[in-house]
Amino acid sequence: MNYTPSNKRYEKMTYNRCGKSGLKLPAIALGLWHNFGDVDDLHTARDMIRLAFDNGITHFDLANNYGPPPGTAEINFGRILKADLAAHRDELIISTKAGHLMWDGPYGEWGSKKYLTASLDQSLQRMGLDYVDIFYSHRPDPDTPLEETAEALAQAVRQGKALYVGISKYSPEQTKEAAAILKSMGVRLLIHQPPYSMLRREFEEAGLFDTLDELGVGSICFCPLAQGLLTDKYLNGIPGNSRAAKAHGFLQKDAITPELVEKLKKLNELAQQRGQSLAQMSIAWVLRQKAVTCALIGASRVEQLQENLHTLKQLDFTDDELQQIETILNTDGQWRCDL
């Protein structure tokens, strides 16, 4: 069936300026980390991407190793892009990343120029693109000089293979260094992608958001729902179709302790008092942070994505609500994604 995007799509989304750049990103972006690989249903993936664009989500976030198997999320996204959104390429922000293990041998992961350059070329081929809008160093490399990683990012911009560059999971100190090196090469650091949620805050606690504000760098936060924990999915056990139940998932069953479930139930009660689902309140909580440009969400079905988009109807918190969240969580022993 031919697809015609909604002509009201830009009325449905809030767009935030990314740091001090000229680029605006939707407050909610769609990540293809899960549910878009060859182990998943392509028709469902296509329906979710269509719904996302119909609701003003212009930013689609990928990485070389997304799947599973690794690389298949980019291949499937490329198919959907060609079938449905090719005429709208200039309305889209498409990002990809390299840093984690992608292929065997000494050049298949981390931050060398050899790996990053080869990976970006492969990603472009898989998606059928001439360029991506944002290319990230997916994680800092303790053994490769940061100058080399930065040179690979700058080269991607100079060659026209990426419009902007970003980093993911870099500490505040590493972020400052990366921004300075890139600036010396004539390329600005656009954006940082850290994990961030009510249940995972180590980057905020380390001062990352203050650093980004100081540098004029934007941020897009992944895992705002803590792999689905910050939804109503696990309030009464582990559903068979959940991430925790999947053999290839990152969320393990033993992370869902009785103590955590009790906290989630209390958070869910607060969300209901706000007229929201727990997922909607959790995304809104991430977006309340002024240094956050965008919340990066995943979805396994259309209904889930639609629910999360309704977050934008209620983004404000009272001081009392924020204090209640802290009291419920009592950050000791908080659950952390294993990324």
Tens of pLDDT, residues 288-311: 999 999 999 999 999 999 999 999
Whether residue 9 is contained in a domain is answered as: no
Strand partners, 15: 26
Residue 161 lies in a domain: yes
**Contact in structure between 94 and 64 (CB atoms under 8 Å):** no
Q: What is the Cα–Cα distance from 197 to 217, expressed in whole angstroms?
A: 19
Name the helix (H) or strand (E) containing 182: helix 172-184
DSSP bridge partners of 132: 162
- Identify whether 45 is part of a domain: yes
Total count of domains within the chain: 1
Q: Greater confidence, 180 or 227?
A: 180
Q: What percent of the chain has pLDDT over 90?
A: 87
What CATH number is attached to the domain comprising 290? 3.20.20.100
Q: What is the mean pLDDT of residues 229-245?
A: 71
Q: How confident is the model at residue 288, as a pLDDT?
A: 98
Instruction: Characterize the bridge pairing of strands 24-26 and 15-17.
Output: antiparallel
Contact 234, 261 (CB under 8 A): yes
User: In which band, very low, low, confident or very high, does the pLDDT at 1 lie, cut at 50, 70 and 90?
Assistant: confident
Residue 220 lies in a domain: yes
Which residue, among 248, 169, 235, has the nearest Cα to 202 in the 3D structure?
A: 169
Per-residue pLDDT averaged across 207-219, rounded? 98
Q: Is residue 38 part of a domain?
A: yes
Domain range spanning residue 251? 15-329
Please state, in angstroms and rounded to a whole number, the distance separating the CA atoms of residues 78 and 281.
32
Does residue 265 fall inside a structural domain?
A: yes
Residue 334 lies in a domain: no
More confident residue, 63 or 228: 63
Examine residue 251 and state whether it is found in any structural domain, yes or no: yes
Write down the mean pLDDT value for the chain: 93
Q: What's the whole-number mean pLDDT along residues 181-202?
A: 97
pLDDT for residue 120: 99
The pTM of the full predicted model, rounded to 2 decimals, is 0.93
